[in-house]
Amino acid sequence: MITGIPEGSIVLTPQAARIAYALLGIGEKRTQMSSSTQGWQVLNAITQCAFHSPAAIGKEQRQDPASEEREWWTVTQIHLATRKTRAERTIRLDCQTGALPAQKNPTWLIRADDAKTYIAAHRRT
């Protein structure tokens, strides 16, 4: 047990929070809830961790997206990792047609191996 964190708590890294955000459709669910509910507060905390915490912002600014270790990639992350040679719309179409193997839940998620292969094929040198 980590000192100061209650037993049974979950600690999320910004990367894990981004995965949860995408897999669970947190953005859409959060907008459907009243900001006074506990559910909204939990979803908002995950959103803050994923996109607005100093660790999340700092990591995205300092590190090349293609070098990050993650299990799942989003269309935006692939777009940035290809140094913007592929438009996000094109990447989504590649997911839809199967040119880039992906799962939609509710956004497109791409396994790391498939993402790295795609990035290598479309990255500007």
The domains of the chain, with CATH numbers, are 14-61 (no CATH), 65-122 (1.10.1660)
Distance CA 39, CA 32 (A): 11
Residue 83 predicted with pLDDT over 60:
yes
Q: Output b/e per residue, 26-50; b: 16+ Cβ within 10 A.
A: beeebeeeeeeeeebeebeebbebb
Q: What is the reported pLDDT for 43?
A: 85
Instruction: Using a cut of 0.85, tell me whether the model's pTM lies above it.
Output: no
Residue 107 has pLDDT above 70, yes or no: yes
Work out the pLDDT band at 56, boundaries 50, 70, 90: low
Region 54-68: mean pLDDT is 50
The tens digit of pLDDT for each residue in 65-82 reads 555 567 889 999 998 888
